[in-house]
Amino acid sequence: MKFLDEAKIYVKSGDGGNGCISFRREKYVEFGGPDGGGGGRGGDLVFECVADLNTLIDFRYKQHFKAPRATDGAGQNRSGANGKPLVIKVPPGTQILDEEKENILADLTTAGQRIIFLKGGNGGFGNTHFKSATNQAPRRANPGLPGLEQWLWLRLKLIADAGLIGLPNAGKSTFLSAVSKAHPKIADYPFTTLHPNLGVVGVEERTFVLADIPGLIEGASEGAGLGTRFLGHVERCRVLLHLVDGTQEDVAQAYKTVVGELAAYGGGLAEKNVIVALNKIDALDPETIEERRAALAEASGQHVHTISGVAGMGVRDITFALDQEILDDRKREMEGDTPDEGYHP
């Protein structure tokens, strides 16, 4: 399945139906009076978040969405039928932005969430509405109001519990395939991963979602390589796993490069909980592993795990560490949402 995380679309709600000018025509009824009904209301344009989607690829093939128009009013005081709502289905984590990409108009994060984005136009009044004691045969009716229209940008930010970050060819995709049933493309050259991949990791009786994004290089915040476009997919993660390739000479500089790009990107990524791991230790001797682990620990100021995604060394321990960080973050979130039941004057 192809991946697309940004799309521009045109949306329009349904036009309202026109009111009707009609008079009662019946045998032996000399002055029947007006009996024109009002038009129906146009269809609403609705966005719905569904769980079985994880890409915006459908919007590459269809960009225009118009809700149905309502039916006009008719004689015998018959009102027009309302237009049916048009439901646009999007994956969880979809943001709706204006045409200039300056304002977030809606953020759909939970499956089943629905929003009426554009309301349909109101129907026009028929001539029955305008009858009065002084105007018993009105010959006017209102047209239906046109629906609202707008160009929008849809931006997908995948919702995962943990995210993988690091330089290209640091072993992120290999690690994802080792801990989950995901099958990302794996090869021995930079930028093998061109779009994000998701995998479900099982830890005892629990599971969490792990996201793998394309690697960052120095200057990515200024557009180098694939830029920082895909960093939005780890903005919602509770914890980040920073993988550093142990086979390169200067592991400390590799760590600082990625951290610097995270800080330049913003979005709160630099403040997230990060677990640091020295990867590809199966290709190193014990003395080199300890030397580079110490250098990486000094640069990061925290404990460094040593793992190998290919050989499976240290993978179990680090998945338990990720799971514990996710549980702790959920606990802090629940404690923060609990209202204070103390005395309030």
Which tens digit of pLDDT belongs to each residue from 270-285?
788 889 999 888 888 8
Question: Who's near 101: CB < 8 A, 6+ residues apart?
Answer: 153
Percent of the chain whose pLDDT exceeds 70: 90
202-238: pLDDT as tens digits? 888 788 888 888 777 777 666 666 666 677 777 888 8
What domains can you pick out in the chain, each with its CATH number?
A: 1-156 (2.70.210.12), 162-336 (3.40.50.300)
**How high is the pLDDT of residue 283?**
85
Q: Average model confidence (pLDDT) for the chain?
A: 85
Helix runs in 8-120, H state only? 58-61
Determine which of 59-73, 242-256, 270-284, 331-345 has the lowest per-residue pLDDT on average.
331-345
**pLDDT over threshold 50, residue 338:** no
Q: In what order do the strands lie in the sheet with 45-49?
A: 86-90, 45-49, 114-118
**How high is the pLDDT of residue 342?**
41
**pLDDT over threshold 60, residue 200:** yes
**How high is the pLDDT of residue 2?**
65
CB 124 within 8 A of CB 16: yes
pLDDT band at 247 (very low <50, low <70, confident <90, very high): confident
Mean pLDDT of the 30-58 span? 90
pLDDT band at 339 (very low <50, low <70, confident <90, very high): very low
CB 270 within 8 A of CB 262: yes
**pLDDT over threshold 70, residue 194:** no
**pLDDT over threshold 70, residue 6:** yes
Mean pLDDT of the 162-166 span? 88
Mean pLDDT of the 302-318 span? 87
Q: Which residue has the tokens 């890409």?
A: 55
Mean pLDDT of the 293-303 span? 89
CB 242 within 8 A of CB 162: no
Number of other CB atoms surrounding residue 231 within 10 Å: 22
**pLDDT over threshold 80, residue 7:** yes
Instruction: Report which of residues 14 and 53 the model is more confident about.
Output: 14
**How high is the pLDDT of residue 341?**
45
Round to whole Å and give the CA distance between 243 and 279: 6
Token code pair at residue 217: 């290089």
83-120: pLDDT as tens digits? 999 999 998 889 999 999 889 999 998 889 999 999 99
CB 135 within 8 A of CB 143: no
